[in-house]
Structure formats: C-alpha cells, structure tokens
Structure 1
Amino acid sequence: MNFLYPGFLFALLAIAVPIVIHLFNFRKFKKLYFSNVQFLRAVQEQNSSKEKLKHLLVLCSRVLAVVFLVLAFARPFIPSPGEKTQIAGPNLVSIYIDNSYSMETLNKEGNLLEEAKRKAKELAGAYGMTDQFKLLTNDFEGRHQRPVNREELISMLDDIKISATGRSLQQMINRLQTDVLANRNEVAYLLSDFQKGFVGIQRIQTNPALSFSFIKLNANSLPNISVDSVWSLSPVHLPNQAEQFVVQLHNYGDEDAADIPVKLRINNQQKAISSVKIAAGKTLKDTLSFSGIGPGWQKGVLSIKDFPLTFDDELNFTFKVTAELKILSINGDLAERAIKSVFATDAYFKLTEMPESNIRYSAFPEYSLIVLNGLKEPSSGLAQQLKLYVQNGGSLLIFPDLEASAAVYNPFLTGLSLPAIQQLNTGPAIASTIESENSLFKDVFDDIPANIDLPQVNRYFSFADQSSSNKEHILKLPLNKFLIAKYNVGAGKVFLAASSLSSKDGNLARHPVFVPLMFKIAFSGSREQPFYYTVGKSEVLQNDKINLAANQSLKLVSAQSEVIPEIRQTPGKTLLFVADQIKKSGFYNLQQADTVLSVVAFNDNRSESDMHYATENELKALFSKQDIAFYNSKKDTLSMHIALKNNPTELWKLCLILAVVFLATEILLIRFFNPIKNTQTT
C-alpha cells in the first residue's frame, strides 16, 4: 500500500491524546461506609470489570477513529502489480508511433499505421483530462516532442504519414528518455510491428524513472525481395565504353523466387534486362553489361517487380563519365620519354609536359596525376607545392634520376613525408616481384604463371624506411626492398619508384607490365563519389574540393524539395552535412547558384525489407529483468487494461467511512453501555 500524501501520517501522533486521557483518568469517587464488607466487595467486583471493558472499547474506538481519519487525508492506495510509486500531479504520457514502410502492411483491421493511430487514441482516452501527452515518430519532428493535451494529440495523430526514415528500437527508447524527471509520473507506450531489424539483438537499457509499455501490432510475415546494392567493375567510366555493373538482390521470404525481372535504366533509357531466381533467405549477385553512354553525370535506376511491398524495388545511383583524364609530366633535362609514349596511346589521357626549369605551380589542381620524371634537382618549394596538392587528394608518381645525389633528393623526399635515400645499389640485374594482391593489379592478370617474365633493374635506390605503416608494395625487390611503392599522404597518394626509366638502369619502361601499371596509377587519381546514400542514415555527403567564397553556399535540389547543407572543408574534400533534411529517395543536384556541380542519389533504408517480426519472448530477452509491460493489439480491452494499470485502487473513502463508524461506536458505547449496579439490602 502506498500513500499519495504521506506527510499527513505525522498526524498519527494524535492517537496519544485518547491514550493519555485513558491512563490519567482522575475521576473522584464518593466514599460510602458499609457495615458489612462482604456486600461492598460484591458491588466493586461486578462494576469494576464492566467499567474497565467499557473504557477499553471507547479507547479503541477513539484511536481507530483518529487513525482512519489521518489515513483518509494521506490518500492510501494499492498500486497495480509492477507499477512504480505514483507521485502527486498529472501524468506525462509519451506515445511512439512506428511510421516506417513496414507499417503499410495490411491485416484484418486494415493498414498497421491506421491501427496504431486508433490504439493511440484509445490510450489517450484511458487517461484523465489533466494528463499531458508527447508524440514521437521516426521523423523526430520538433512539433511532436512537446507536451500537449488530448485534443492536440489526436489532431497530430491524424497527420502522421508513412516515412522513409528508419530507426532502431534503442534509438527510440533513448529519445523517449530525454528530459525524464524522477519527480514526475511519466509513462511511454511504443506501438509498432517490432520487426527483427528494428528490434536488433543487443541488450537494451531503460531509465527506471520511465515506465515502458510495448503494444505489438500483429502482421503476417510477407515474402519480399529487395534491390540491396550496386557497384561497378570499372575503376573509371569512359564515354562509349562497355560498362559492367553488379546488382545484389535479397530474398527475405521463406520460399524460392523465380523469374524475377531485373531492369537497368540510365537517364530514363533502358540499358540492360535480366531474369533471376533467388533461393529463400539468400542473396544473389547478377552482372549487367551495357555501353553507349556519353560524358557527364549519369542517373541510374535498378528495378524489379515484387508485390506487395514495393518501396525497396528500386535502387537509385549516380556516376560520372569523364571525357578526359588530365596528367602532368614534369621532366628533367635528360629524362626518358616513356611517359609520353604510354599516355599518347589513348586519347582519353590528356598529357601536359613541363620542363623542370619552368614549372607552373598554380596549374597543379587541374590534374589528376602528376609525374616527376628524372628531375635532377627537385627543390623544397616544389616539395611544398606537391605536398599541398597530394594532401588535397592528388596523385603523384616519382621516377628519380639515379645520377642525382642523395643529398639533393633527401630534403625533397622528407618534405613529402617520404623515406630518405639510404644508398644507390648497383650490380647484376635483379628481378622484381609483382604484388598481385594490390588493388592496382585487379583485372590486369587472369593468372600469374610461376615463370613469369618480371621487370629487372641494374641500379636502384634503397630507402631508410622499409616498413612504414602507410606503405603498400606494388613491385618488390629482394630483402624487403621495393621497386615501386605507394604511400598515403593526406587525402592523396604518392607512388615512389626506386629506379629511373632509363634503359641503363633497368627494363621497367620496356616491360609489358609498364603500360597497364601506368594506366592503373592514372585511374587511381580519379576520385569517385559514392554511388548512392541512404535516407535517414547518411548524414554526411562527400564531394571533391569545392572552393567557395565567404558568403557562398551550396544547395541540394530535387524535383520536390531544396536543401541547404552545412559545409565543412577538409583536405581534398568538401563535406556536406544534411542531418535529417533529406526525407525522400531520388536524385538531387548539388548546385552552386545555378551551376550543377554533381548529382547524388538517395535510397530508402533497406532495414525495413525483412518482414519477420520479434516475438514477445524475444523482446523480453532484450530487457532482461527490467520491468516492461507488453500488450497484444488483438485484445479489444486495451483501454480497459491501461485504465486499470494507471488507476490504482484508492482506499481513502473506505478510511473515511471507518473513521465515522468508530466515532459512532464510541458514542454508542458511552451512551448505552453502562455497568449494571447490583445493590444488596439486608
């Protein structure tokens, strides 16, 4: 039993008053003299016992009357089983409505979202007129998360729509627990279908000051196939060249799916079609090939036909087809012309050459790759400009001049955060080893035979640092030395060769591996943005460096909306923070004023695709011994359960009645319970 106003219990000290009166009853008796003591003793024994009984009964009546009167003012009540102690004042009721795509599922009562709204209105009706309510949905709208009365709550419930934003159960509980006060009656109800993807598998902690109740909306598990992801097999995209894209499909159903049509559209033109069969609960990868696309930004859509759930049947993605790749070669006076010979074979590469004596530093940002070919005396100023270029995402390839001294090259290399030259090695030709696992050699070799012809060198530099953590070997030499290695510097990368391209130093420039290696290094300088982002999950977008004035801004524009992101500049990148401003899937143009800088794609979160639901026991297991109430929406008595749960048995009326009863008992005892006087005469 609990008390609404326990402070009144101090008034129980008042029971001392009738007790004191009883103990110190100073009644004065009149003396009577009798000649026969035997008669006197008989009268005393008979009247004294009845008098004592009367006084005790009156005392008990007075004490009990005081006790129950005090209890009536203290407002005693018996709480419902498992409920926390009630505090004086109105209730604050938080209601979470799951408005994700899975709530579009139909059951006997119609749409799950509409059922959730009806149940929420039932909940509101089970509370008093002075209680307040807070509404929460997946959208985290500010207008919802504030206390309102019942009428305002019902109005907001009617406005809830299906949202593309997906959340987790832990996220929702954390949000509901914001600003919880221990001295306030707060309860929270979560109405959802409780998909397994929404619930998760991690233990969930709740605030004991907030009472949680889960109301599970029942839906049947539905078969569903989603377009999960897409990626390209090509490192770069060239105009009118063959392209290969891999699409991954997922069958979330319990039965095999056959003859699922897969279509690929690029810029609203169908480019490929396929038909697949997917086993139950499995994923499938399918490769789609196409060609004939021009330069510029491409908007791709992969689609299937799958009913009844269709929100995950399309996947939007974007990529850029570049018309050319700009390369700068800075040549020493006696440098070999191998670089020019390689990149002149393909019109896609636009090679610009500069002599070592006349370098235009301001032109560096225009190029995807800069090659230093046999520089005799690289300066510290060049190192400073190249380091800035690399840190901002550029790629640098260095072929040293072996005739130059280490004293000349080491300050330059150190300025680029590269290892210093240790010594020049000369002697018989040494064969290198290809690091076939390196990403640069992906798709270059189908198979590497044991007796493959490898590049050889007669002279090469060895470097002081052979085990740097940011280094990757591309072509290796014996004793853990390298012929070509890659170093990550800032947002870019530096490819450092240990030998020159001169024929007297080795046969690297004439070896068959040289051309594909140079192409791969050039392609690695192309920075491709992600194919797509996820609504409600991707809050930061990456873009190539965008130079903006102090008062300039960027905007993301779609056919239905316009978003102004927060901008943050980092080395080589411009980061766009969109938070939760993107509400719908589709294509968005990144614009500076009216100029389109890039195109980004957004897709709905695939976490809603798995239409399997957590059971009550699975939910309880996540909360361990925490006190969580569970309700089943199939029961029509939900509001009755809630009313009983939140309206404990109050006892103040009973206490008041008992106080009156004992006062009446006292009066009756005093008036009608008189000892019988036995008078004996002689």
Structure 2
Amino acid sequence: MQFLHPELLYALFLLLIPILVHLFRLRKFQKEYFTNVKFLKKISSETRKSSQLKKWLILISRLLMLTAIIIAFAQPYLPAQGSNAAVTRKLIYLDNSQSMQLRGPKGELLASSVQSLLENIPENDKLSLITNDKEYFNLSTSELRKELSELDYSPGSLNFEEIKLKAGNYFKNKNSAKNELILISDFQQNINVPTQQDSSAINISFIPLKPVKPENISIDSAFVQNKNTEGIEIKLLLKSNTEIEDPVSVSLYNNEDLLTKNTADFNEENEAETIFNLKREALSNAYFEIEDNGLIYDNLLYFSLNQNPQIQVSVISDSSADFLQRIFTEPEFSFHNFSLQQLDYKVLSSSNLIVLNEIPEINSALSQNLKQFYKNGTVICLIPAQKAQPNSYNLFLKELNAPVYGEETEREQLITGISFEHPLFNSVFEKQISNFDYPKVQSFYRVSRNQNAALSLQDGSPFLLQRDQLFMFAAALNSENSNFKQSPLIVPSFYNMGLAALKSPKLYYQINDRDQIDIPVSIGQDEVLSLKSEESSVIPQQQLFPDKVQIFTNAIETPGNYRVMYGKSDLGKLSFNEKRTESKLVYTHPESLKNIRNFESIDKYFENAKASGQTKPLWKWFVIFALFFMSLEMLLLKFFK
C-alpha cells in the first residue's frame, strides 16, 4: 500500500495525546462518608475491574477511529499491476478553429472544452497540449489555466496528418511505455480523418464535440463585376448550409459609417448574391456585414478600393500599332509608341508592359536592355514579323530561358484552342464555348515548347503562350496574315496582359496565402514598407525593384484593413480575410470509423482513464473503518456497564 499524501501520516503522533490522558488519570476523586460500607467492599472490587476494561476498550476504539481518519486523508492506494502500471504519456489536441464558436450543450464548444479540461486534470499532473497555432508542453494545471484563459480562435486549422506528425515529434524523445494522443474537435471534414487507423505506437482517442444548432450563413466572396470611369460594380456571394427562406440583409460600411444596404435571396443551392454600385473612389476602411446566429468570423468581409496608378505601356513597332492604342486607353493606361530607330530607354525602363510589335529583329543593345527590364519585373510581349529570321528573336529568348521559334510555316490555321483556366481568360467567359467564330492565320512559327498556352491553333501548336513575365505570339497580327484584330479575343488578351503587368491590389486577400503585390514606389536599400491596421503592424517579406516594391502577404495573421506605409506616407490599402473553409459545417463522424476509440465527452474520457488507470484507491475503506470504530465507541459508552 502506498500513499498519495504521505506527509499527512505525521498526524499519527497526535494519538499520543489520548493515551497520555488515559494513563495519567487526570480526573480527581472526592470522598463521600457513608454510615456502613462493609457490605459494599465486595461490590466495589468487582466494579473497579469492569470500569478499567471499559476504559481500555473505549481508548482502543478512539485510537483506531482517529488512525483510520488520518490514513483516509493521506489517500492510500494499491499500485497497479501489469500493463496498467506502465507510464502513459498524453498529448491533447484542442481544436480552436473558427467553427468551435458554435454553442454546444454547455456553451461555446471551445470555452466549454477548456473548462472541462481544467476540471478533470489532476492538480499534481503535468499536461502537454497543442492547438492549431500554439503548443503547451509539460505545464501544471495552474500554468495551463493561465495560458488557456487567453486562448483565441485560430484563422487556420491542422489536418489529421499534421496533428499526427506533431504528436510523433513530441513522443520521439520521450521514454514512456504508452503514448496517447487525444483529439478534441468538432471534426469538420477538412480535418481529413482516414476511415481506418493503421497500426501505430501512438494510441489515438477521439472526443467529438457536437453543436446544438449547426446552422450558418457566411459572406463567401466578393469580386469586381464591372468598372468604368464613373463607378464600379461589386458582386457579393453568400452561402448557407441550410435552407433560408427570408432575404438576408447585407450592409456596407466605411469605418463606422453605413454607406448602403442591400438584401439577398437564397436559391435552391443555398446561395445568394447581391450587387453594390460604388463610386470610383478610395475607401479607407470598408467592409460588408451580415447578421447571423451561427459563426461570427464569416459575417464580415473586409475589402479595399485604391486609386490605381496608370499602367505604363510602351510599344516598339515598325508597323501600325493603332489596334493597341485603342485597347490601352486612359485613364487606366499611359500609352507610348516608338519605332526601332527612335527608342527612349528612359521611358522603356519605367514601363510596366513592353510590346515588340512585328519588329524584324532584336539587336544586341535592345536585347540587353530588355533583359534588364525583364529582370526588374517588366512584362514583355513579343509579336513576330512575317518573313523574319527568327535567330535574333531566339538569341534574346534563350537569355530568358524561354521557348524559341522554329521555321515559319505557311499554312492556314484556325485559332481554336482557348484555355479558359489561363489568367488572361479565366474571368472573361461565363462558361466554356464551342460554337465560337474562330479567327485564323495564314502563316505561323512553330514554338519549341507548348507550355502554359493561352490560345492554340487547330493542330495543337501554341498561338499565344506565357513564360513567367513573357508573352509570345506564334504569328504576325497584321491584316494580311491574320484576322485576329477583328476577333473578340484580342481585347481580353491584351487588356488582361496590361493588367497583369502591374499586380494591382485585389479587393482582398486571404490569410496564410502567399500573394505578391506590386507597390509603385522607389525606396532606399535600407528602407522597408510596413502594413498597419488598428490592432497590429507587420513588416512583410519584400523585394526591391527600381520603380516598385514587391511585397508578399503570407505574414498576415489577423483579418482587417491594412495601410501600406512608407515611413509616415500612406501608399494605399490592403484587406485580408480568413478562408471560409470552416463555414461549411460538414462533419466527420468518428464513431463510424474503424479501430478508433471514441468518447462522448471530455468528462467520460477522464472517468475511463481513472477507472483503468494506474492505481486502486483505498481511502473510502478507511472512512468506513472510522465510522465503524466511532459507532463501536458509542455502543461501549451506552451499553457496557
């Protein structure tokens, strides 16, 4: 037998007190005179012997009662035998994703889980726990209570393999006979739990949490549907995981000011959309908002509208470039046209897009400058000339590690292949088309590699392809060789090419995605741009170019509207939102999976762990013994004469 609190056994020394009281007989006797005591002598002798026995029995019962009480407080137990005696090291995964905001039987799923953990963890135990964004190893209950009281919801979530990998790294250097991973989550399908567990050195237990009402409406996405010099149309898409009969109100705010309010009706697919018409002006802190009884995080969608700078387009051409001038118009574009003999390299160096329109060759001076411009982030579009010798093109293309031109083929070909997923066309067509009035070419050049082709000829060879910042046509676009200028494809091809030349900020970006954004500003080598919101400030990863700074957005962890700051100068706004993967509320049911231990609640898990744990407690037996000896003492006092 062992004791959980052996220090309390020192209280057994207190048993000396009743023993000393009994031995020293502190009670004083008083003489009483009686007329004749002769007949009492025999009775007095017998009574004295009976009284001594009674006192000894009462003393022993009291000592045994006090001993049982003291031992009960010391919490005796019998050590477990066999497999139950092995040391079990536990690691708990507590899901703190946004879907844990829903209410369960005892309140919000995350808050009630934290409370249950703190109530069930023994005070003298050390616990290791991980969440989607934090790790707590070997903390006492008091330390863990402080940490979990500040636990917030995470914008991302781990899948099952990532959780298992973290557990494997944790248990790797730990000397324990049994390792156990306990997962506490609502188990949405994006956790990707396998249908059957493989044999592993880690025992896995699942505690699925179930919300009372898994219903939710979310603002799914927003995008610019149309824009012109006067205004801009933004389409907002809403989704629900249940049928919604009544229209949902959507509000548009800038700071705390309500700009406008629309309603959205849900269709049979539980989707709704509404359109906001805005003036073409910058908004400092804009967001859409709905009211919903489900999740909170997806009721807001932050977005930004900035005054975009003009995109600088330069065309080097020995033939007419009027069709390009009609596409690259103000105020979005600033158009410059040069002949091969009259180049302004200062203007070219500040251009975002350079179009080489049917020039017969690329001389060495132009090639070296173009190579430097390309290295600095300038987009280059090459339209070959007819009857040209492609060698000068190819020398330049090889410098860029790009595909090269072969010999010119004089055969009529239709332009029939449209890559609807290519960035030039992914937002042009509402659906894929097959009855298109295809343009054609009379002659074309074969291209060595058919990679990332936006448009293809009917024989499968590329007509327009992209290699990083380089766009290449396979044929001249003049009227004698092609009717591509009269095709509806020409405007989106060049217009989106121009927009791609300057990576202007979108309405918003998603947290944890690695997007790159061009900020048109020149800064010193030792200077940086920062992103500031009302709550935080971040210095993102960035790359300097002569006329711009390219920033990467994967360092943002908190949703909101951010100002792009250069010192004290405000260069524009960027908005970030959390991904809507947690809004679907489509759950996995672990109880239907094979070879997996499931528990109804955290309380049930710890009850099971204690029942099959390492010890057999004995304190209840000693309480029973104490009650028995106390009852025995009372009987002795009342009935023993």
The TM-score with structure 2 as length reference comes to 0.69
Residue 343 of structure 2 corresponds to residue 359 of structure 1: yes
User: Residues of 2 paired with 1:132 and 1:547: CA distance?
Assistant: 54
Match of 1:422 among 407, 430, 446: 407
- Deviation per CA, 1:449-483, whole angstroms, max 9, x where unpaired? 979595665xx4x3243662343336x4x76667x
The match for 1:101 is 98
User: Residues of 2 paired with 1:605 and 1:451: CA distance?
Assistant: 37
Residue 113 of structure 2 corresponds to residue 121 of structure 1: no
Q: CA deviation at 1:370?
A: 1.4
Match of 1:223 among 210, 215, 218: 215
Match of 1:646 among 590, 596, 613: 613
Match of 1:525 among 480, 501, 509: 501
Structure of greater Rg: 1
User: Residues of 1 paired with 2:436 and 2:611: CA distance?
Assistant: 84
Q: Give 3-state SS (helix, strand or coil) of 2:450's partner.
A: coil
Asked if the contact 1:399/1:496 (under 8 Å) is kept, the reply is yes
1:110 partner letter:
G
Structure 1 residues 486 and 372, CA gap change in structure 2 (3 angstroms):
same
Structure 1 residues 381 and 629, CA gap change in structure 2 (3 angstroms):
same
The match for 1:586 is 560
Residue 415 of structure 2 corresponds to residue 465 of structure 1: no
The match for 1:248 is 237
1:99 partner letter:
N
Residue 489 of structure 2 corresponds to residue 489 of structure 1: no
The match for 1:196 is 188
- Deviation per CA, 1:330-358, whole angstroms, max 9, x where unpaired? 233xx325257525865543211233234
Q: How does 1:25-174 map to 2 (within 5 A)?
A: 77-79=80-82, 86-87=86-87, 92-125=89-122, 129=124, 131-141=125-135, 145-174=136-165
Match of 2:297 among 279, 286, 311: 311
The match for 2:538 is 563
Match of 1:630 among 587, 592, 599: 599
Q: How does 1:327-342 map to 2 (within 5 A)?
A: 327-332=313-318, 335-339=319-323, 342=326
User: Residues of 2 paired with 1:119 and 1:344: CA distance?
Assistant: 63
Asked if the contact 1:132/1:147 (under 8 Å) is kept, the reply is yes
Asked if the contact 1:166/1:607 (under 8 Å) is kept, the reply is no
Asked if the contact 2:254/2:283 (under 8 Å) is kept, the reply is no
The match for 2:625 is none
- Deviation per CA, 1:93-142, whole angstroms, max 9, x where unpaired? 444433333333334433433322332123322x7x3x42223333315x
User: Residues of 1 paired with 2:363 and 2:263: CA distance?
Assistant: 57
1:86 partner letter:
A
Structure 1 residues 367 and 555, CA gap change in structure 2 (3 angstroms):
same
2:591 partner letter:
N
Structure 1 residues 113 and 420, CA gap change in structure 2 (3 angstroms):
closer
Q: CA deviation at 1:609?
A: 2.4
Q: CA deviation at 1:559?
A: 0.3
User: Residues of 2 paired with 1:514 and 1:539: CA distance?
Assistant: 32
User: Residues of 2 paired with 1:271 and 1:136: CA distance?
Assistant: 43
Question: Structure 1 vs Structure 2: percent identity of aligned residues?
Answer: 20
The match for 1:325 is 311
Structure 1 residues 425 and 263, CA gap change in structure 2 (3 angstroms):
same
The match for 1:383 is 367
The match for 1:260 is 248
Match of 2:576 among 602, 607, 619: 602
User: Residues of 1 paired with 2:564 and 2:178: CA distance?
Assistant: 44
Structure 1 residues 285 and 542, CA gap change in structure 2 (3 angstroms):
farther
Match of 1:233 among 225, 228, 246: 225
Asked if the contact 2:454/2:465 (under 8 Å) is kept, the reply is yes
Q: CA deviation at 1:228?
A: 1.9
Q: How many residues align?
A: 533
- Root-mean-square deviation (Å): 4.3
1:221 partner letter:
K
Asked if the contact 1:251/1:257 (under 8 Å) is kept, the reply is no
Asked if the contact 1:239/1:322 (under 8 Å) is kept, the reply is no
- Deviation per CA, 1:362-408, whole angstroms, max 9, x where unpaired? 54353232122343442133234334544655433334444654555
Q: CA deviation at 1:520?
A: 4.8
Structure 1 residues 116 and 414, CA gap change in structure 2 (3 angstroms):
closer
Structure 1 residues 359 and 103, CA gap change in structure 2 (3 angstroms):
same
Q: Give 3-state SS (helix, strand or coil) of 2:337's partner.
A: strand
1:589 partner letter:
R
